[in-house]
Structure 1
Amino acid sequence: MDPFDAGAGSILRQPKAVWATAGASVVAFMGIGLVDPILPSIAKGLQATPGQVSLLFTSYFLITALAMLVTGFVSSRVGGRRTLLLGLALVVVFAGLAGTSGSVAQLVGFRAGWGLGNALFVSTALAVIVGAAAGGSAAAILLYESALGLGMACGPLLGALLGNVSWRYPFFGTATLMAIGFLCITAFLKEQPRPARKTSLLDPIKALGHGGLASAAVSAFFYNYTFFTVLAFTPFVLNMTPYKSGAVFFAWGVLLAVFSVIVAPRMQERFGSLKVLGGSLVLLAADVAVLGYGGHTTAVVCTVLSGAFIGVNNTVYTELALGVSDAPRPVASAGYNFVRWFAAAAAPCLAPKIEEWSDIHMPFVAGAATALLGAVVVLVRRRALTLPQALDSARAGGTPMAEELQTRHATEDGVTVFAK
Structure 2
Amino acid sequence: MSARGIIVGAPRSGSGKTSVTIGLLRALARRGIRVRGAKSGPDYIDPGFHAAATGLPGVNLDSWAMPPALLNALAARTAEDADFVVLESAMGLFDGIPGAPGRSGAAADLARLYGLPTLLVLDVSGQSTTAAAVAKGFATYDPQVRIAGVVLNRVGSDRHRRLCADAIEALGLPVVGAIMRDPTLTMPERHLGLVQASEHAGLTAFIDKMADMVEASLDLDAIMKLATPLAPQSGDFGSALPPPGQRIALAEDAAFTFLYPHVAAHWRAAGAEIVPFSPLANEGPRADCDVCWLSGGYPELHAGHLSAADHFRAGVLRFASTKPIHGECGGFMVLGESLEDAGGETHAMLGLLGHSTSFAKRKMNLGYRQAQLRADCALGRAGATIRGHEFHYARMTETGNDEPLADLADGQGNPLGASGFRRGHVSGTFFHAIARGE
Q: With structure 1 as the length reference, what TM-score do the two structures score?
A: 0.28
Flag the structure with more relative contact order, 1 or 2, with Cα contacts below 8 A and sequence separation at least 6: 1
Higher share in strand = 2
- Name which one, 1 or 2, has greater alpha-carbon Rg: 2
